Structure formats: C-alpha cells, structure tokens
Structure 1
Amino acid sequence: MTRRDSGRSDPDADTISEVGHESFGTLANGTRLEILDALATADSPLSYADLFERSSADDRGRFNYHLRQLRDGHVRKTDQGYDLTQSGVWATNILTASVLQQGGERPFREIDSTCGNCASSPVEIGYRDGEGIVRCRECDRWLTRFDFPPGAVRNLSLEDFVEAFAQRTRRYIGLADAGVCPFCSHRMTSVLRPGSATRSDSLPVAFDCSGCSAELRAPLGLVLSNRPRISATLFERGIDLEETPFWEHGWCTFSAPTVSRTDPLLVTLEIPADDEDWTVLVDENVDVRELNC
C-alpha cells in the first residue's frame, strides 16, 4: 500500500498562504479561465481578435481588464500573438487535472488482474476522495491506494484508468526514491522506518519532503522495482512491470523484508522469479548492498 500524508505542520505556511491567495485570486474569474483555456488548446499564439472571439465576453473594456490581469504572469504577448507563460501552462494543467476540486468518486469495477496476496482474480479498482484504490474482495484487503487526478478519472476508460494509475504510482515512488518530491520537486529523503507499519508491510520505506511536507510510505518491493538493476533482472526473468500492474506481485505490495541485522539495520527481501527465489539485501538508507539471483 502507498499513500501520501501531508498532515504535518508546514514551517512556511504563512508564505504559502500569501502566495496562494495572490495566485488563485488572479484566476478567480470566468473570463480569465476562458482566456487560459483558449491559449492552452490553440496550436499557436492567438491574436487579440481571435482571443476575444473565443471568450464569452461581450465588452472589450472588461475583456481587456481581465487580459491585463493575466499579462506577465500567466500570459505573454509576442510578435506572433498571445501565448501562455510556463506558469500559465502549470495553471491550466492544474485546472485540467481538477486536483483542487473536492470529493469525486468512481464506483469499484472488476478488472482483469489478480491479487498479489491470495492470487484470486479478478480484483477491483475504484476512486474516492482523490485516491485510486485497488482492492481484493477474496482476501478483503486493499492492494494499493494513491493520489490520482480527478480530471483524468472522469475521462479515462476503465482499461486506461488501470494502466495510468499503476504506472503513475510506480513513477511517483521512483521519483521520490531518486530524491525528488513528485509533488513539489524539493529534496526528498528516504529511510526504512520500523514501527510505522500499516497492515501487511512491517518495514515500509518512508519518504519525507523538505519543501511541501509531503510524506510517502511504500513497500520496499515497490521502491526497488524502479531501480534499473532490479528492473533489468526482473525483465530477464520474465517479469515486466510495464505490462503487469505491480499489485499482482506479492513481493511488490505485501511481502515484508526480513531483518538480517539491527545495528546497523540490514534487511533482506525475497523476490520469486523463474520458480526460484532471489534475494536483495538493503540497508536502512534503502541502498542495495547485495543482489543474489
């Protein structure tokens, strides 16, 4: 299971509040949102006339006012016409993803996949309050849950939702493992943290961000699945996580590592492949010490 926990106090909360108020205030108007949408969906910069025509504004004076509010922040004027700045691109991406909307659900549906814990099939995928959730009814367990943009949930087919959720979750964990926060891009640290377990994973990898105060918890197997040496070895043994969702593999979601030594901490994770087990020895900083296969 993976999750994001942003419940810690933020030392820069006042700064974030001030900047956020200014940024969201600039976008708090229907005409301005129409301007951003028109530029985001255009194949090239738009002239003033084209931009005005694509909006619902019927008064050029008011339209000019709203366009000025976006200038030099989200919109720039070039020799070719009006275009989005990078902050304008980020703003439209956030709006398209609908990540600021409350709630949102997608009923659980059976999918052509198996449970990595009990090997039953099919399992189910659904969406609640900003998170994709994969669960197994047979063993009554959640196989994984993680952030997912509600905008995509509404538009993707079931098959595409499954693939996008599986790959996005792995990529986010991989980015965190590389030391980059997948949410704000600040520095992220990782450590095996005994005692912070949830359900099946007794030694999760804990990621902490120095910027947005995001916290991630992920099974060791899921973290290791993104390492080039591990993924290459898996591929050689017929396990391709680009083709099969990670929750189909017990070592990736449910298998807890075995403590080999406590001071300093060393743990061993067994990964079954080709009808035999191979082992990975990892230290408390999640560095691979040995790979025996």
Structure 2
Amino acid sequence: MSGEYDTGSGAVTVERRSPEAVFGLLGDESRLRILQALGETPDEPVPFSELHRRSEVDDSGRFNYHLGKLRGTFVRRADDGYELTYAGRQVIGAMYAGIYTANATVETIPVDGACPVCGGDLAAAYAEETARVDCTECEDFYNEFAFPPGSLDQFDPEELPLAFDHWMSHVMRGVAAGFCQTCAGRMEGRLVVDEEGERLAGLPAHVAYACDRCGSIATASGGTPTMFHPAVTGFLYDHGFETGHSPTWLLGDIGLPTGDLVSEDPPRMRVRLEHDGEAVVAMVEADAGISSVERTSA
C-alpha cells in the first residue's frame, strides 16, 4: 500500500506494508541475531564477513537467506557493509528498553524534595510500566506517565525519582512540539476549561494532546506548554530553575504558575510566573500553542 500527496513544495510518497508482513520478518532467532549484531555499532556499517561472525549464524546459506529477508525493511546495504534502517533502530531500541521483554515493579521511594503545593513529603513508585511521583499529603501534585522498564536497572533506587522526572520532561517537550511518543504521529493539542474542584495545579484549564494516528493521549497542566517556550525557560534559568534538568517539584521554589481565562469560547488562558520582582506572562491558545510571551517587572 502506498500514497502520494503534494505539499506545495514537492510530492511526498509513502509506501506501507501490512503489519503482519513486517512483524512476521522478526519471527526467527537468526534474524534477531543479525539485528542485534548491527545494533552493537549502530553508527557504523558492518562488513558482510564481520556481520556473519557477530550474528553467530553458522550456516552461510542460512545467514544469507535471513539477511536478505531483513533488507529493505530493517536493514539496508551501505557502501562499507550493512546498517540498520530507522525501523531496525527502533526494534533494537525497544529491545534495550525492555518494552517487549521486561516487566518490573519498584516499591515506594521517598523523594528528596517537598510538594510545591503543600510542602508535604513526595514519593515515587513504579508498576505496570508506569512511573508516578506524587505528594503523600495532598492530591494537588502528581505526575503519572509511561516509563520504559528496561531503563530501571541503570539507576540506583535513590536516583529513580529524578530519572522519572527527566523522562517526563523529555516526553512532554516532544508532545508539546506535536510528536507522539508512541508512534511518532502528529499530536494535536487543545486547551480544556475545567470546573472548580477538577483543576490541575490550580489552573482554570488543562491541555490535552491526542495522536491522530495511534490515538495516544497526553494530559497536563495548562501551564505545561509555556515551560518549553524560550522566553519562559530563560526566565526560569535566570531564577535558578533549568527546564528539563531541575526536578519539576522545585518549581515551587520560584512560584507555581497562576492563570486566568481570557475567554472560554474559544478557550484562551493567560499564564503568569512571578519571582524576585520579575514576571513572565504567556498566552495559551485553544490549540495549546503559545501566541505571546512578555517579561516584565512584577
């Protein structure tokens, strides 16, 4: 199956094969060995003889046969040998991440930090491929998101809360930019007005993102998209908070975002951060995009 469309600056052609045909290629141990052998040096083509040696497929005819089956989908011929395609890299990455091969649980871990809302204790936990960091004393601060199980054993237990938080920031940056973490499809955002008692982080609206290809959904505080705008990250950095590096719970040291609705139909929200005599104000539009940012004296 294939499709072609004109973007105005040139035609884009996409050829698709059925999932059954593609994933059926992986149903052989020799083919997985070949992919793993290429994954040992993912940035360098591997010569034929070296790939044969690494894969430990003894019979040369069998090796040739299975390599040929992988070519064009997971493997391609390069000038100096063979290399993984993007799809091949994704398969190897999923294997390392344990997405298909690992199942894990992490018991509750105390977090070195305080709830930015109430000052209470924070705790992190992991189960069913989901990480959670929340306050043990109030229900107003919590982060819950998917985290690859194969990454857990790279960290000591006390390091996991920060690892969870960094992963969440990494994912949300991509989502806010319009890319689905699951399938790399296009994410469409929207600003959703909340009722009293249902507000996230005390803001009158939250943002919801949906993938128009696989249907994945991500929900976050209405202030989240502002955190990745250069003017806001600069303001935060100047006041000691590094977006994507500082734990999100430390945002309380600067001051949590406040917000007010400019309109409900279409929804528009003004988000304000204030600290040490300065403020930055951003406008979140109905599509969860940022239309303006202004930095002023508080």
**Please, what TM-score do these two structures have when normalized by structure 1?**
0.78
Counterpart in the other structure of 1:213: 215
Give the letter for the 2:112 counterpart: D
Q: Within 5 A, what are the aligned runs for 1:241-260?
A: 241-249=243-251, 257-260=259-262
Report the CA distance shift for 1:39/1:196 in structure 2 as closer, same or farther (over 3 A).
farther
Distance 1:106 1:85 in 2: 34
Counterpart in the other structure of 2:11: none
Stretches of structure 2 that go unaligned for 5 or more consecutive residues are 1-14
Distance 2:255 2:182 in 1: 22
Distance 1:180 1:155 in 2: 26
Tell me by how many angstroms 1:97 deviates. Answer: 1.7
Counterpart in the other structure of 2:228: 226
Distance 1:107 1:64 in 2: 47
Describe the SS at the equivalent of 2:193.
Answer: coil
Q: Within 5 A, what are the aligned runs for 1:145-160?
A: 145-158=144-157
User: Contact 2:35–2:84 at 8 Å: present in 1 too?
Assistant: yes
User: Contact 1:225–1:252 at 8 Å: present in 2 too?
Assistant: no
Describe the SS at the equivalent of 1:225.
Answer: helix
> Once superposed, what is the RMSD of the aligned Cα atoms?
3.4
Distance 1:188 1:253 in 2: 29
Q: When the two structures are aligned, how many residues end up with a matched partner? A: 277
Q: Within 5 A, what are the aligned runs for 1:172-187?
A: 172-187=171-186
Distance 1:241 1:168 in 2: 12
Counterpart in the other structure of 2:205: 203
Give the letter for the 1:63 counterpart: F
Distance 1:281 1:53 in 2: 58
Distance 1:84 1:92 in 2: 9
Distance 1:105 1:114 in 2: 24
Identity among equivalent positions (%) equals: 27
Report the CA distance shift for 1:264/1:241 in structure 2 as closer, same or farther (over 3 A).
same
Distance 1:145 1:30 in 2: 36
Give the letter for the 1:237 counterpart: H
- Specify which structure has the higher proportion of strand: 2
Counterpart in the other structure of 1:144: 143
Describe the SS at the equivalent of 1:217.
Answer: strand
Distance 1:163 1:225 in 2: 18
Distance 1:94 1:196 in 2: 39
Report the CA distance shift for 1:27/1:141 in structure 2 as closer, same or farther (over 3 A).
farther
- CA distances 1:57-96 after superposition (whole Å, capped 9, x unpaired): 3433333332222123222334423322332222212222
Tell me by how many angstroms 1:218 deviates. Answer: 0.8
Give the letter for the 1:203 counterpart: A
Tell me by how many angstroms 1:199 deviates. Answer: 5.0
Describe the SS at the equivalent of 1:134.
Answer: strand
2:270 to 248, 261, 268: 268
Report the CA distance shift for 1:265/1:58 in structure 2 as closer, same or farther (over 3 A).
closer
**Please, what TM-score do these two structures have when normalized by structure 2?**
0.77
Report the CA distance shift for 1:57/1:187 in structure 2 as closer, same or farther (over 3 A).
closer
Counterpart in the other structure of 1:110: 110
Tell me by how many angstroms 1:132 deviates. Answer: 1.6
Q: Runs of at least 4 residues of structure 1 off by over 6 A? A: 251-256
Tell me by how many angstroms 1:220 deviates. Answer: 1.6
Tell me by how many angstroms 1:217 deviates. Answer: 0.8
Counterpart in the other structure of 1:93: 93
Distance 1:204 1:253 in 2: 18
Distance 1:264 1:77 in 2: 52
User: Contact 2:239–2:254 at 8 Å: present in 1 too?
Assistant: no
Report the CA distance shift for 1:77/1:242 in structure 2 as closer, same or farther (over 3 A).
closer
User: Contact 1:197–1:203 at 8 Å: present in 2 too?
Assistant: no
Give the letter for the 2:212 counterpart: S
Distance 1:198 1:188 in 2: 28
Describe the SS at the equivalent of 2:133.
Answer: strand
